[in-house]
Structure 1
Amino acid sequence: MTVDYDLIIVGGAAVGRYAAARANQLGARVALIEPPSPSSSLVLSLLAQINQALRQQACLQQWGYQLDGTAKWNWSQTLQWAETLAETQAISIAAPHSLMQLTAAGVEVMRAEGAFCRQPQLGFMVGKRRLRGRNYLLAPRVEATIPPIEGLAAIQVATLNSDFRSNFWPTLPRQVLILGSDPRGIELAQVLNRLGTQVTLIVSSEQLLPQEDPEAAFLVQAILEAEGVTVLTQTQVSQVRAIDDQIWVQVGNRAITTEAMVLATKPHLRLACLNLEAAGVKWQPEGIRVNRKLQTTTSRIYACGESLGGYVSAALDQHEADVALHNALFLPTQSVDYSRIPWTLFTDPTLVRIGLTESQARKRYGNDVLVAQQPVQALTTAQLSNDSNGFLKLIASYKGEILGAHAIAPQAQEWIGILALAMQQRLPLKALAQLPQPSPTFAELIQRTAAQLQQQRRREWQRELLETWFNFRRSR
């Protein structure tokens, strides 16, 4: 079979550019087809930095520095800074996944729409040009689902991919209602609240993050509510109307007025234009069907990233891309393993998770599960920085295998990699318990919690040994 490319990537999401760069580095001939699309929100890309800056301001007050109370947040200046930063990154050599850098490296980049075809062999049409690839990788963007709410279609609402400055928010609204359970909506709610906006967050589920550890999810909600965010769970919006300059929203049995709305609803795919049926690929708006090797229902076509459904996460997307690239460019021998990939919610404090939750571990391993938890407030560095909210929970088996970890703590995204490495390399719990950590730091939580688990294991081992000993003595 004569082909033009070793891999053709049908992109749109950021992971498509990552995959193109990695495949090119491996020596493959790569084409990246990326449809023209609006830029994603600059605000969301700066959540961690803004939250950190606001937290440091609170620390100044705690340490005795008196603010005069006249400072106001300049929304337009923030967005201008964000755009300048984005432009700098786009032309920097430190941005190897920009289209400019990919083209310079040898990737053939096409900013155009395209579709699969069979004439009679599988190919991809871009305009009048037919591209032939040995294999294909789907990495398209997803968009927020528009819920079937009466009156919503007539209202101008933002999504998590909106350009808030030019299209929706030339000034920061006084009230914002965020509808949906996408984790990025939770991040946005905290930031907007800290900037002085009155925020209402509405989700239909029982807790904010149904797939996460309940204790961690409830703590995130408690922190948001303590800061002033109104959080409504198990709640449905039935009607939306525009009245003068306000948006009227019927929420359950009460009405709420707001200046602006953001949809943080479940993302969905719009792939009809790709003619996937001609390629034999089965998909639904919720995601593309793949196996553990990330092959679609057509073995030569792979998929990764947002298009598979679930949370939006750069770490997960890149893991999927690495697996798909290995299988597409070499032999299909690798499978995805999500149990050792960390996921992060960039609230303040940060929520991180890797591996199984406590309930998942007990369901899979029964009584062969140990759980230990250490509070952040026990750390010296937490007292010094006025960051005492949170905890680290470790889950392990009696054999010492680390099954999962959940932390809500300041800077948790910086030290969760220690646990990820330990799990990927299958290091025993004893190694973490004996791992020296600099003090005072938040990473001390790892050693303390692992030592607590190790002590539980030791007690069980000693109890069984003593029971065996005394049974032996009694039998003589």
Structure 2
Amino acid sequence: MAQKVIKTDLCVIGGGSGGLSVAAGAVQMGADTVLIEGGKMGGDCLNYGCVPSKALIAAAKKAASLDHASDFGVKGERPNVDYGAVMDHVASVIAGIAPHDSVERFEGLGVNVQEGYGRFISPRQVEVNDTIVEARRFIISTGSSPTAPPIPGLEDAGYLTNETLFENREMPEHLIVIGGGPIGMEMAQAHRRLGCKVTVLEAFKALGKDDPDLTSIALEALRGEGIDIREGVKIANVSRDVDGVQIHLESEQGGEVISGSHLLVAAGRKPNIDRLNLEAAGIEYDRPGIKVDARLRTSNKKVFAIGDVAGGYQFTHMAGYHAGIVIRNALFRLPAKVNYDAVPWVTYTDPEIANVGLTEVQAREKFGDDIRVLTFDYKENDRARAELRTEGMVKAITTKKGKILGAGIVGLQAGELIHPWTLAISGGLKISAMASFIAPYPTLGELNKRAAGSFYTPSLFSEKTRKIVRFLSKFG
């Protein structure tokens, strides 16, 4: 039987955050659009990543809410945790958002949704099931998947990833986490607060991609909650018996065996390209993902790649940003290019860690000594004192002339407090703009203003200023 052929303006491969944004935008702007999705609509973010993890973190915060209540004069019993019910809460949050990302909604918008995995059969054709899609432009937005390190015995022992963790309804007695990055540390703290014993094993430095001035504060807090975080660990092998999973450390670390009931691997991700048959379309790729230029075009200029599959920043909000760049290029033929100067990211531990722009190390590599490092501690903020959450700091990096290069925050609501720094960098504002706005009192937002204001402290309270004031005072 002859295959059905669909001719269209735009074909989007992958129904995750970025792909859905492109499809919805394109069809509402008048482009004939085909969307191909072989898994769950909404992709990793809705089903396995951002949404379920933040729902679990929220439940864990509720469970831990009375741990320090006595400091406020409030006493109460620590709540009993029904782990299965917690995961039901997670599932309900996913279910509440799912209709927005559903096949039915997108077909209602006018998108031709093809449920199946697409593969290129030529530079201008993709095959899905018994259908061939011929498009003027293609957008690959297939995302990424968790990957596991090559540890002997790991596959046979079995383990959880972020794709299977939220299906588990059995409370871990002892959760072992391999990987001390954002996902590993977020899930470690959430499970600890739900009542699990938790051990994190990290081959290098926990939260090693962030500023150590910030991560040291967060890691101290996590260890203070009872999480066993081990850095520089080398695992010899993994095994499992009726009692659970055993992690055997290498002999130079004493040959210790760590036993747990559940094992979560959060040690990296890989681009979802295996099914795409990219060679048939002349699309170049490497280990991090599909190679793209500043306009997000692949080596086949009729094909774009966005989000995780294009390598680089693996954040849902970056896929959404990429979607806007691609729509301008693919639909309007505008030479829009990506700009990563003001990319924010947040690690949702408690305290949170938020960053935008350059870190201090990156700034010094690029500008040498022509930078200023501005800091302000949470303990100097009255709202933080009222909340008894004085652990944390704001750290901003500028040039000596006041151009904002980056900012990092660790502390309560850091993910919210990073927003004005992101706006300042993307808008090309100088540090004076952040220092001069009126912040309502008492709010955590004053932290940003005070950190920015410290840029002027050396000159404002200098001997030169004092001489000027004394001189002017002589005139009445």
Task: Please confirm whether the aligned pair reaches a TM-score higher than 0.5, indicating the same fold.
Answer: yes
User: Per the alignment, do residues 112 and 462 of structure 1 end up closer, same or farther by CA in structure 2, a change over 3 Å counting?
Assistant: farther
User: Per the alignment, do residues 305 and 327 of structure 1 end up closer, same or farther by CA in structure 2, a change over 3 Å counting?
Assistant: same
Displacement of 1:171 = 1.4
1:324 to 320, 323, 326: 326
Show CA shifts across 1:116-144 (max 9, x none): 112xx611111222111111111113222
Counterpart CA distance in 1 for 2:128 and 2:139 is 16
Displacement of 1:202 = 1.3
Q: Is the 8 A contact 2:52 2:93 kept in 1?
A: no
Answer with 48-57 or 387-396: which moved more. Answer: 48-57
Q: Is the 8 A contact 1:293 1:332 kept in 2?
A: no
Displacement of 1:311 = 5.0
Q: What are the ranges of 5 or more consecutive residues in structure 1 without an aligned counterpart?
A: 467-476
Letter of the 2:117 counterpart = E
SS in 2 for 1:137: strand
Matches within 5 A, 1:308-323: 308-310=310-312, 312-323=314-325
Matches within 5 A, 1:41-56: 43-54=52-63, 56=65
Q: Is the 8 A contact 1:51 1:348 kept in 2?
A: no
Letter of the 2:66 counterpart = Q
Letter of the 1:290 counterpart = V
Displacement of 1:25 = 3.3
Answer with 296-305 or 321-330: which moved more. Answer: 321-330
2:10 to 3, 7, 11: 7
Aligned-residue identity in percent: 27
User: Per the alignment, do residues 348 and 89 of structure 1 end up closer, same or farther by CA in structure 2, a change over 3 Å counting?
Assistant: same
Counterpart CA distance in 2 for 1:136 and 1:283 is 16
Counterpart CA distance in 1 for 2:407 and 2:29 is 34
Matches within 5 A, 1:31-430: 31-37=34-40, 39-40=47-48, 43-54=52-63, 56-69=65-78, 71-91=79-99, 95=100, 97-118=101-122, 122-165=124-167, 169-205=168-204, 207-252=205-250, 253=253, 254-310=256-312, 312-430=314-432
RMSD: 2.4
Residue 472 of structure 2 aligns with which residue?
none
Letter of the 1:75 counterpart = Y
TM-score, length basis structure 1? 0.89
Displacement of 1:89 = 2.3
Show CA shifts across 1:192-243 (max 9, x none): 11111111111112x2223211111222222111111111112121201112
Answer with 283-292 or 232-241: which moved more. Answer: 283-292
Displacement of 1:3 = 8.4
SS in 2 for 1:132: strand
Letter of the 2:439 counterpart = Q
Displacement of 1:43 = 4.2
Counterpart CA distance in 1 for 2:28 and 2:144 is 27
Answer with 349-358 or 412-421: which moved more. Answer: 412-421
Q: Is the 8 A contact 1:281 1:297 kept in 2?
A: yes
Residue 17 of structure 1 aligns with which residue?
20
Letter of the 1:16 counterpart = G
Counterpart CA distance in 1 for 2:455 and 2:226 is 36
Counterpart CA distance in 2 for 1:82 and 1:281 is 38
User: Per the alignment, do residues 163 and 107 of structure 1 end up closer, same or farther by CA in structure 2, a change over 3 Å counting?
Assistant: farther
Letter of the 1:338 counterpart = Y
TM-score, length basis structure 2? 0.89
Letter of the 2:394 counterpart = L
Show CA shifts across 1:43-68 (max 9, x none): 41414423543454345332122113
Letter of the 2:453 counterpart = A
Q: Is the 8 A contact 2:8 2:33 kept in 1?
A: yes
Residue 33 of structure 2 aligns with which residue?
30
Letter of the 2:97 counterpart = Q
Q: Is the 8 A contact 2:90 2:166 kept in 1?
A: no
User: Per the alignment, do residues 3 and 399 of structure 1 end up closer, same or farther by CA in structure 2, a change over 3 Å counting?
Assistant: farther
Q: Is the 8 A contact 1:13 1:306 kept in 2?
A: no
Show CA shifts across 1:398-437 (max 9, x none): 2221100000121122232111111111112111111111
Q: Is the 8 A contact 2:55 2:89 kept in 1?
A: no
Displacement of 1:389 = 1.0
Q: Is the 8 A contact 1:316 1:343 kept in 2?
A: no
Counterpart CA distance in 2 for 1:391 and 1:34 is 43
Answer with 415-424 or 55-64: which moved more. Answer: 55-64
Counterpart CA distance in 2 for 1:116 and 1:391 is 49
Size of the aligned set, in residue pairs, is 453
User: Per the alignment, do residues 351 and 461 of structure 1 end up closer, same or farther by CA in structure 2, a change over 3 Å counting?
Assistant: farther
SS in 1 for 2:275: helix
Answer with 108-117 or 348-357: which moved more. Answer: 108-117
Q: Is the 8 A contact 2:199 2:228 kept in 1?
A: yes
Residue 474 of structure 1 aligns with which residue?
none
Counterpart CA distance in 2 for 1:355 and 1:175 is 37
Counterpart CA distance in 1 for 2:89 and 2:261 is 25
Counterpart CA distance in 2 for 1:54 and 1:238 is 35
User: Per the alignment, do residues 391 and 113 of structure 1 end up closer, same or farther by CA in structure 2, a change over 3 Å counting?
Assistant: same
Q: Is the 8 A contact 1:304 1:321 kept in 2?
A: yes
Counterpart CA distance in 1 for 2:410 and 2:29 is 38
1:455 to 438, 454, 457: 457
Counterpart CA distance in 2 for 1:161 and 1:22 is 28
Q: Is the 8 A contact 2:377 2:394 kept in 1?
A: yes
Letter of the 2:199 counterpart = T
Counterpart CA distance in 2 for 1:138 and 1:181 is 30
Answer with 394-403 or 57-66: which moved more. Answer: 57-66
Displacement of 1:372 = 0.9
Displacement of 1:312 = 3.2
Letter of the 2:55 counterpart = L
Letter of the 1:86 counterpart = I
Letter of the 1:247 counterpart = V
SS in 2 for 1:190: helix
Counterpart CA distance in 1 for 2:77 and 2:53 is 29
Displacement of 1:348 = 0.9
